[in-house]
Amino acid sequence: MVLQGIDPSDETPVVPGAIGPYAPIEMNDKTKITWIADRLIETYGAPTGRLHDPIENLVLTILSQNTNDTNRDRAFKSLMKRFKTLEDVRVASLGDIASAIQIGGLQQQKARSIREALNRIVKTRGYLDLEFLNDLAPHDALRWLLELPGVGPKTAGIVMLFSFDRPIFPADTHIRRVMSRMGLVPERGDPHPQLNQLLPADSLLMRRLHLLTIRLGREICHPRKPECVKCPLRCECVWTRSHDSEHEDVVTSLSDKGGIHL
């Protein structure tokens, strides 16, 4: 029987395993990572923001190591209150820099990295400026940054992407966790080569993906007890699928032994 006014051919087919309107489809890793970006933008909206001064960004990113954004910002504010300019920081004593940034932790190590990085820039350029990186090919500029003390792939990538608009994707601990649970990178090791190989060379997309994946990692995909039921990536997540099936196995096994009543 056809109900009046309803054409059965209009019905959306039900796909087993679909969650909400987002049906799993066959994806390779490259389509999956852009799907993740699209889903996060749909969920949270596209973040906007200007490009940052490269040297400030470099110092801020060194200060962000092993601390949260609030303490990073407090450390930077305290540094600039004490010294006024980054040129003053460059010629200050390590002890004075360390005491100005101690709220962010690891102050001795960070003070040394900041001062040495600033000195290396001046030694190379004659003054405190990184704009010359604009004239280099992205990977040459990245290599130059990676030679600075205390600068690894994440810090160098943040400067390249958020100051020079170059399509180099930086990954922090939240991004590594989410991408590993999504099945795109291994749990250990440097995720940068793989993620950069999967992503299209689109700096705007990379900035959005970077910021939104960190947000997802902080708010939903916690290191322990991720809240998968709330997650917009759930239908394509390898981790949640395997943990759901572990849960089902436990339930089935207890049920077989008469230990649980369904």
The site for ligand SF4 (CB under 6 A) is made up of 178, 181-182, 220-221, 226, 228, 231, 233-234, 237, 239-240
* Integer Cα distance of 171 and 79 in angstroms: 26
Cβ closer to ligand SF4: 162 or 239? 239
Cβ closer to ligand SF4: 67 or 240? 240
Cβ closer to ligand SF4: 84 or 230? 230
For residue 129, what are its two tokens?
């400026």
Tell me the closest approach of the beta carbon of residue 229 to ligand SF4, in angstroms.
Answer: 8
Residue type, 243: H
DSSP state letters, 31-45 = HHHHHHHHHHHHHH-
Tell me the closest approach of the beta carbon of residue 196 to ligand SF4, in angstroms.
Answer: 20
Tell me the closest approach of the beta carbon of residue 232 to ligand SF4, in angstroms.
Answer: 8
For residue 163, what are its two tokens?
């100051």
For residue 171, what are its two tokens?
């990954």
Tell me the closest approach of the beta carbon of residue 184 to ligand SF4, in angstroms.
Answer: 11
Cβ closer to ligand SF4: 104 or 217? 217
* Integer Cα distance of 63 and 79 in angstroms: 10
Q: What is the dihedral of CA 211, 128, 138, 56, to 10 degrees?
A: 0
Token pair 């649970």: residue: 181
Q: Are 198 and 256 in contact (CB under 8 A)?
A: no
Cβ closer to ligand SF4: 72 or 234? 234
Tell me the closest approach of the beta carbon of residue 82 to ligand SF4, in angstroms.
Answer: 40
Tell me the closest approach of the beta carbon of residue 146 to ligand SF4, in angstroms.
Answer: 29
| Residue whose C-alpha is closest to residue 178's, from 66, 28, 49, 33 | 33
* Integer Cα distance of 185 and 182 in angstroms: 8
Cβ closer to ligand SF4: 36 or 60? 36
